[in-house]
Structure 1
Amino acid sequence: MSETPRIEQRTEQPYLGIPVETSMQEEPRVIASHLQELQAWLRAEGIAATGAPFVRYRRIKMPELLAIEVCLPVQTAPPGDGRVRGNAIPEGRYAVLVHQGPVSGLVEANARLQRWAREQGLDFLTQDSGDVEGWTSRIETYLSDPQQEPDASQHRTEIAYLLKS
């Protein structure tokens, strides 16, 4: 189940992330392991996350390639250490949709947001190259903590795509 899509103006959001390439099949496992690593790195550095974890999608060629960053928002992003990197989600207008339910429903929720944007005459800021989709800012934020809410039907994930000006 997904809420009604909307457009939202957002400010720049600094973050620390770990870039990784994976397949759609391996994505949940890769996200979980890299998030644990990132959380441990922030604890060791004495840095507090300022919000929910998210994944930033950079390049997609379904189903075999997902070039992503597993991220945590921070107040200011230090450069990192090579593996963990500081960056920022750009400010701008975003098409946003909140999906409620298991992560298996995120493919359809993303498709719904993309259809809605097309119907509204909106374009995403992309850099496609052949059969690979390149994204300036395509984000899935995990609003629910599975440790605190074990019922996957209650999990909430926010999907946000940067729009062309």
Structure 2
Amino acid sequence: MSIKPEIVERAEQPYAAVRGTVTLETFGEIADRLPELIGTLTHRGVELAGAPFFRYTLIDMQAQLEVEAGVPVAAVVPGEGDIVGDVLPAGRYVSLTHVGHPDELLEVTRQLREWAADEGLTWDMTDTDRGERWGCRLEILKTDPAVEPDMGKWETELAFRLA
């Protein structure tokens, strides 16, 4: 598999999300909250402004992941219940769109990180005793599973912020 990432400028983006701490095995606990989040926001009259995403804030692949399941919105929304409103930071991001099963994303991410190291790029990421703390690391879900049930055809954009 040959990857072709690009460096893009992203503007700041308001979003709403639910947060969770999961493992690779329990990731569905946060992923399965996206439809509920979107439904709640729509019911509240919030204008959605893009594809849903997962934002990884703390990663220890052997232990746990702190993740947000979110969706871009037109304007910052006040938090309510376990829904938080926040803003994705502007900046330079390495972007790569993968077409294929979500299970392939671990390997695609490994290749993306290897490519960035070869290019001398530095992530907006800090190593901590609990894992990697990311300024902004996104998996943007470009495919609606209700429209395309074949997971092998799903498009996922990886967007990792550079330092």
TM-score bracket, normalised by the shorter chain, equals over 0.9
Q: TM-score, normalised by structure 2?
A: 0.95
Q: Does 1:137 align with 2:131?
A: no
Residue correspondences, number: 163
Query: Percent identity, aligned pairs only?
Result: 37
- Alignment match, 1:111: 110
Q: Does 1:97 align with 2:93?
A: no
- Alignment match, 1:22: 22
- Alignment match, 1:81: 80
Query: How many angstroms apart in 1 are the aligned matches of 2:91 and 2:126?
Result: 17
2:12 partner amino acid: E
- Alignment match, 2:58: 59
Partner of 1:127: helix, strand, or coil?
A: strand
Q: Which runs of 4+ in 1 moved over 2 A?
A: none
Contact kept? 1:12, 1:88, Cα under 8 Å: yes
2:111 partner amino acid: R
Contact kept? 1:51, 1:73, Cα under 8 Å: yes
- Alignment match, 1:149: 148
Contact kept? 1:2, 1:99, Cα under 8 Å: no
Contact kept? 1:2, 1:98, Cα under 8 Å: no
Query: How many angstroms apart in 2 are the aligned matches of 1:63 and 1:140?
Result: 19
- Alignment match, 2:40: 41
Contact kept? 1:2, 1:97, Cα under 8 Å: no
Query: How many angstroms apart in 1 are the aligned matches of 2:143 and 2:2?
Result: 15
The alpha carbon displacement at 1:36 in A equals 1.9
CA distances 1:102-123 after superposition (whole Å, capped 9, x unpaired): 0000001111110111011000
The alpha carbon displacement at 1:80 in A equals 1.5
5+ residue gaps, structure 1: none
Query: How many angstroms apart in 2 are the aligned matches of 1:9 and 1:162?
Result: 9
5+ residue gaps, structure 2: none
Contact kept? 1:17, 1:72, Cα under 8 Å: yes
1:11 partner amino acid: A
Aligned-residue CA RMSD (Å): 1.4
